Amino acid sequence: MKKNVVANWIAIALSTVSTGIYAQELINNGSFDGNTLTENSQSHTADNWQFSSSNGAGIFNPTASQYESHALLHNIAFASAGASISQDLGQPLDLEQQYTIHVKVGWRHDNDAYHYKLGLRINDQFIDMTPSTELIKGNFVQVSAQFSPNAGHQALIDSGANIILELQNSDTQLSIIDFDDVSVHVAPKQRDSDNDGMSDTWRFKSD
């Protein structure tokens, strides 16, 4: 879904231009196309990604019978029940930053898909950011979630441990959840110190 990766970057760029807040992309190989796969083949390794199980998660090149949007698909990631995929984002949690996850979550025509989770793992603590989203059989659904650390996360900040993005299939019964076009960007928090509905950054630019 390379077109959708470009669309995510355009959305980020428009946001940063209008607010003066500059976002940094933290994910590498978010489209999983760094590895070459033929249709209906899979691999349990992928550049920049880690998989919780050697046979329960990996990357896959789907067939036309599995997804309505097959013509737009290349490689995707998958996780079977209880498995997960993850990527080390290369930096620790920062109290002054805001983190946004964008990912497409898929349900194949030929498999069940029930529950998934997405979030950030820091020093072995999982911050669940999963929004309420209904999956659609034979399609991918765009999912977005945002996290702003606060004083309650100070111990995680002080640990200095790198942030890890984690995408899980949280089902306990036989199922497969697919993921594609993964993006995590970080940007300084927008503050409104006088509660006038206008961010401090925008006001300072306008003054």
Question: Which residue ranges form the domains of the chain, and what is each CATH number?
Answer: 2-191+199-206 (2.60.120.260)
**CA geometry: angle at 188 spanning 166 and 18, to 5°?**
110
pLDDT for the residue numbered 98: 98
d(CA 174, CA 100): 30
Q: What is the H or E stretch that residue 85 is in?
A: strand 84-92
Residues 181-200 pLDDT 10s: 999 999 999 865 555 555 55
pLDDT for the residue numbered 7: 53
pLDDT for the residue numbered 72: 86
pLDDT for the residue numbered 190: 80
pLDDT for the residue numbered 204: 42
pLDDT for the residue numbered 202: 46
Give every residue of the chain whose pLDDT is below 50, as ranges. 1, 3, 12-20, 202-207
d(CA 78, CA 91): 25
pLDDT for the residue numbered 8: 54
pLDDT for the residue numbered 19: 44
Q: What is the pTM of this model?
A: 0.83
The full DSSP string for 120-183 is EEETTEEEE--------BTEEEEEEEEE---GGGHHHHHH-PEEEEEEEE--SSS-EEEEEEEE
